[in-house]
Amino acid sequence: MLDTIKQFLKEHEIDEKAGFIIAVSGGADSITLLHAFKYLNLRIHALHCNFNLRGKESNMDEQFVKRFCETYGIPMSVKHFDTQEYAKKKSISIEMAARELRYDWFEEMRQKKKMDYIVVGHHADDLAETLFINICRGTGIKGLTGIRPVKERILRPLLSRSREEILTYIEQNQLGYRTDSTNNSLDYVRNKIRHMIIPVCKDINPSFLNTVRENCNTLKEVEQIYRYGIDRLKEEVLSEENGETLIDIQKTLAAPAPYTLLFEILRPYGFNATQIEDILESSDAIPGKQFEAEEYLLTKGRIYWRLFNILEKEDKRTLLADSGEYHVDDSIFRLEEQDIDDSFIVPRDLDTGCFDLDKITYPLVLRHWSMGDWFCPLGMKRSKKKLSDFFTDLKFSAKQKKDCLILQSGKDIIWVVGHRIDDRYKVSPATKRVLIIKQIKGI
């Protein structure tokens, strides 16, 4: 194991005098990594994340890592995370939340401790498991290259060693380690692959992990050739005009692999595989056919497919500082403040917004919508909804999205103009004063 790490540092031209942040969960791989780096007398600082996901077990992991570091005189830091709250806030899985949290903290501490690299304990079994996960998810040729041994400041020096070899090192050096009980749960995709697929592959081919590693190394070079070819073809078929990306239809069709080329061009803009197939099939269609991703619109012309960002327009903001009239584009927005009583009837036409004035903060901001905007639509009892989802529900066209205005009070969106106000700012039985905003179009 020590020779493996020394060879890794030499192969990747990493100075042994550098500083290394060691990510330590308490499992066999990270304990092996920490022990080996300490034995080699490298400058290290251990980091342990307590994600507070397994109750007492998480705290026992933390205490084990602390005792280990105290025994070997290794400086360390621990951080607790509310992983479930973070996942809920960002609408991502627990696994993705834990990954984001730990790597953000690792980088923060790398800079704070003036270290050079972050070292993690991925090994050959992890490489094989990741390869199968990527195959199942359909990540393309890049996913077949597995885990990178070096990615920016992140090092993975144990990728050439198996879990079995790591456990042998643990036993030889009489090191303790912690086992995550969730590693045995088949509720997780990685665990299904680890316990159900990898053993069968090893039975078929005892050198399976070496075979995977060799194939991944070969495919890394294949990917480089692939990228080189794609980049050359892009140069032939792409051009720019007035902020639009033009894709030459005939040159694309004449390429060795038209679908693959178009997929590589359009995937970064949010178009999916089915859409790209439809776009390719539209090559003989009459001009004018449109295809829409969340932020981009592609239209078919006679010679080109034209791609442009439907959200890209001047970030024009109009401040509505008080009651009165404001000219915005081809509309007038008329603001009127009014005291009300029980006889007041809330206007129901879509071009009029009526709000509880005591909840309003001036100046109001009238602007075009942006990705990430959200509000609480009237009638949804303060449930958040992204504007992109709201537009999808209304079956908005690309032009409708592009032209839509929103009204903002402080940090809150209070009105998707012409469509729906925010439930938090509606007129209620407790309302004493209202702000009525009327949009008069066609001025």
Please write the tens of the pLDDT for every residue from 148-188.
Answer: 999 989 999 999 999 999 999 999 999 999 988 777 778 77
Q: What domains does the chain contain, in order, with CATH numbers?
A: 2-218 (3.40.50.620), 242-309 (3.30.465), 318-441 (3.50.40.10)
pLDDT digits (tens, 9 = 90+) for 412-433: 999 999 999 999 999 999 999 9
With a cut of 90, say whether residue 315 has pLDDT above it: no
Whether 254 has a binding-site annotation, put simply, is: no
Confidence at 140, pLDDT banded by 50, 70, 90: confident
- Single out the residue of 116, 120, 132 nearest to residue 43, CA to CA: 116
Q: What is the mean pLDDT of residues 82-110?
A: 91
Please tell me whether 27 is known to bind a ligand: yes
Give 441's strand partners.
331
Distance of CA 182 to the CA centre of its chain: 24
Q: Do the annotations mark residue 28 as ligand-binding? A: yes
Residue 35 has pLDDT above 90, yes or no: yes
What φ, ψ does residue 415 adopt, rounded to 5°? -155, 125
159: which 2 tokens?
């990728």
- Supply φ then ψ for residue 91, to 5 degrees: 55, 50
Rounded CA separation 389/91 (Å): 14
Averaged pLDDT score across all residues of the chain: 90
- Which residue is it, tokens 């700012």? 425
Task: Give me the pLDDT at residue 184, please.
Answer: 76
398: its two tokens: 């690309």
CB-based contacts of 380, cutoff 8 Å, min separation 6: 423
Cβ(80)–Cβ(52) below 8 Å: yes
Q: Would you say 283 is a known binding-site residue?
A: no
Q: Which residues is 381 bridged to in the sheet?
A: none
> What's the pTM value of the predicted model, to 2 decimals?
0.62
Query: Stretch 208-216: mean pLDDT, rounded?
Result: 93
Q: What is the DSSP string of 189-213?
A: HHHHIIIIIHHHHHHH-TTHHHHHH
The rounded distance, in Å, linking the Cα atoms of 269 and 271 is 6
The residue that leads in pLDDT, 30 or 136, is: 30
